[in-house]
């Protein structure tokens, strides 16, 4: 008599998670250490001047130092006394707006303190300023004075590379954005409690949607959400995502896609949909505490027209994340070094607005020549290397959906574990899936009669892709409209008979793709079939 063995959890409860300092707290601690270690000059990269001032004030209070802030328009202003009292008095003559004058003043001042110089990067083109900064760096060593240069972009001449320490100021994390949203909710709730129509989960998702925005941008987005309809609801997530669209447009490399496709509009691909459904839970509240890592991405392989690009759009909509499209044509530039910089900038923008879905269509064309670099002085290889390193090391919640038609053109380095979470092969749809796809497109054209017998059409469309089935519906509508009557199945069959599917002209490549995928990729649609090789694609014969 056999007894049923019940599965036992590895552990009754997740282990306690060691509290890790937030990115901004970690950065703040690093700056504090560098100043205490008497590093003379720090270069702080950020767009958020007001937020940076508050951070530097916090450090000055920790160390009991005076804080001076300089700009080319206001001159040098004392903002904080050594005792921690905030002041706003000019420490020198009103004419001290010249960078040479302020550097000379800092070098000769006897008292210690922190000197924050705003937007100093344009002056680093001047050889005299460069020389003076090198002199100041030597004089500040061993003193209690530190020079902090703030800028939204990096402009570091080679002469100063050994004198200056570079620090990126991270964008607000989820905790900071949650505090900002909470303060806004308190203000709105005080005036009208009925205006707050969000649950705890909605609150978390709304704050998460603002990741990648500065505090000012997030405050504007939240305020716009309230003012637009005098209430705060889950639907306001779309308003926040629309603010992110502005960031993408300014980059000039990435495209922002406003996707309205849903997973329900994608026929078949049941294994892939289930996998994405499970992976999407990693973005929910509590996933990180449970120990779930951020999903890296998925590589979709298969013949053209099988739903790869549509799936990228649908997953962004399902997860309520912005969809970014990376066009490799915009990455490559004729200027030396600019292509690699374009790739780094594109990836940095994607990380800046994370969580997000990064869609790379026809990856094999963008990485053509990436392993050899022949014919372009190695530019393709360097761009490819930058992309691979980022895929391997990235910790941001950027989910990459890459599609490819030609498997043989993909470099082997891209396929190894650690780059993508999984590789799926999208084959031509089976009869049941073809019927599902046709009914989806008929419903879009308001012809969704569930009682219509589509068997003649399904029989006539063996070897058709999803895109070709959509074409049959469109062509059938033209035929019916030309005849002055409503659409019939006969019109669809006639349209199919006039169509030469890609599987006829693509037969050799499709066979090679199926053979490759049978052992190296998961089937996106078929149920697991151990007798045919487990969950790997097994339809190897082209009809």
Q: What is the pLDDT of residue 536?
A: 36
Q: 120: pLDDT confidence band, cut at 50, 70 and 90?
A: very high
More confident residue, 35 or 79: 35
pLDDT, tens digit, 9 for 90 and up, residues 133-182: 999 999 998 889 999 999 988 888 999 989 999 998 988 888 899 999 99
More confident residue, 329 or 128: 128
Name 422's Cβ contacts closer than 8 Å, sequence gap at least 6. 275, 298, 299, 522
Read off the tokens for 240.
Answer: 């926040």
Q: Average pLDDT of 214-240?
A: 88
Cα three-residue angle 539-309-389, rounded to 5 degrees = 95
State phi, psi for 256 to the nearest 5 degrees.
-100, 125
Least confident of 50-59, 205-214, 447-456: 447-456
- The whole-chain average pLDDT of the chain stands at 82
- pLDDT of 246 > 90? The answer is no
Domains and CATH numbers, the chain: 23-168 (3.40.50.300), 174-247 (1.10.8), 263-426 (3.40.50.300), 431-504 (1.10.8.60)
Q: What is the pLDDT of residue 534?
A: 38
Q: What is the pLDDT of residue 527?
A: 53
Q: Average pLDDT of 83-92?
A: 68
Q: At what angle are helices 23-36 and 49-63 packed, to 10 degrees?
A: 50
Read off the tokens for 108.
Answer: 């000769």
Read off the tokens for 161.
Answer: 């590379």
Least confident of 104-108, 369-373, 419-423: 369-373
- The closest alpha carbon to 71, from 129, 118, 121, belongs to 118
- 386 contacts 392 by C-beta, under 8 angstroms: no
- 194 contacts 232 by C-beta, under 8 angstroms: no
Q: What is the pLDDT of residue 146?
A: 94
pLDDT, tens digit, 9 for 90 and up, residues 391-434: 888 877 889 999 888 777 777 777 777 788 888 998 888 899 99
- pLDDT of 541 > 80? The answer is no
């Amino acid at each position: 008599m056999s007894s049923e063995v019940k599965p036992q959890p590895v552990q009754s409860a997740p282990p306690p998670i060691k509290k890790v300092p937030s990115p901004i707290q970690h950065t703040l601690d690093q700056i504090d250490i560098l100043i205490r270690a008497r590093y003379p000059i720090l270069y702080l990269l950020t767009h958020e001047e007001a937020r940076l001032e508050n951070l530097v004030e916090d450090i000055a209070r920790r160390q009991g130092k005076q804080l001076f802030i300089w700009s080319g328009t206001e001159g040098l202003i004392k903002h904080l006394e050594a005792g921690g009292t905030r002041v706003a008095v000019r420490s020198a003559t009103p004419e001290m707006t010249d960078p040479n004058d302020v550097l000379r003043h800092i070098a000769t001042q006897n008292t210690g303190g922190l000197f924050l110089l705003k937007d100093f990067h344009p002056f680093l083109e001047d050889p005299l300023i460069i020389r003076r900064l090198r002199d100041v760096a030597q004089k500040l060593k061993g003193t209690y004075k530190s020079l902090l240069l703030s800028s939204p972009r990096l402009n570091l001449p080679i002469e100063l590379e050994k004198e200056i320490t570079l620090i990126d100021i991270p964008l607000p994390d989820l905790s900071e954005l949650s505090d900002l949203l909470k303060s806004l909710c308190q203000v709105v709730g005080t005036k009208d409690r009925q205006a707050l129509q969000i649950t705890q989960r909605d609150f978390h998702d709304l704050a998460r949607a603002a990741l990648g925005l500065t505090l000012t941008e997030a405050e504007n987005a939240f305020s716009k959400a309230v003012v637009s309809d005098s209430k705060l609801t889950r639907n306001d997530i779309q308003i926040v995502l629309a603010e992110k669209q502005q960031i993408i447009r300014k980059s000039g490399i990435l495209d922002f896609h406003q996707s309205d496709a849903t997973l329900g509009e994608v026929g078949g691909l049941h294994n892939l949909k289930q996998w994405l459904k499970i992976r999407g839970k990693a973005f929910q509240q509590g996933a990180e505490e449970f120990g779930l890592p951020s999903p890296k991405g998925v590589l979709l392989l298969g013949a053209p027209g099988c739903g790869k690009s549509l799936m990228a759009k649908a997953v962004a909509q399902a997860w309520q994340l912005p969809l970014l499209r990376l066009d490799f044509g915009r990455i490559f530039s004729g200027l030396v070094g600019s292509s690699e910089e374009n790739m780094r900038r594109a990836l940095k923008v994607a990380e800046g607005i994370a969580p997000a879905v990064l869609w790379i269509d026809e990856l094999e064309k963008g990485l053509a020549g990436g392993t050899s670099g022949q014919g372009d002085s190695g530019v393709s290889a360097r761009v490819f290397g930058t992309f691979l390193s980022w895929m391997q090391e990235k910790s941001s919640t950027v989910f990459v959906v890459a599609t490819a038609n030609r498997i043989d053109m993909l470099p082997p380095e891209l396929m190894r574990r650690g780059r993508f979470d999984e590789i799926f092969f999208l084959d031509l749809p089976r009869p049941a899936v073809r019927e599902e796809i046709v009914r989806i497109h008929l419903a879009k054209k308001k012809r969704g009669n569930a009682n219509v017998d589509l068997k003649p059409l399904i029989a006539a469309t063996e070897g058709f892709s999803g895109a070709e089935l959509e074409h049959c519906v469109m062509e059938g509508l033209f035929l019916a409209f030309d005849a002055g009557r409503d659409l019939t199945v006969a019109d669809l069959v006639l349209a199919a008979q006039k169509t030469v599917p890609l599987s006829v002209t693509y037969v050799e490549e499709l066979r090679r793709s199926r053979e490759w995928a049978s052992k190296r990729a998961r089937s996106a649609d078929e149920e697991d079939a151990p007798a045919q090789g487990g969950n790997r694609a097994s339809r190897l014969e082209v009809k």
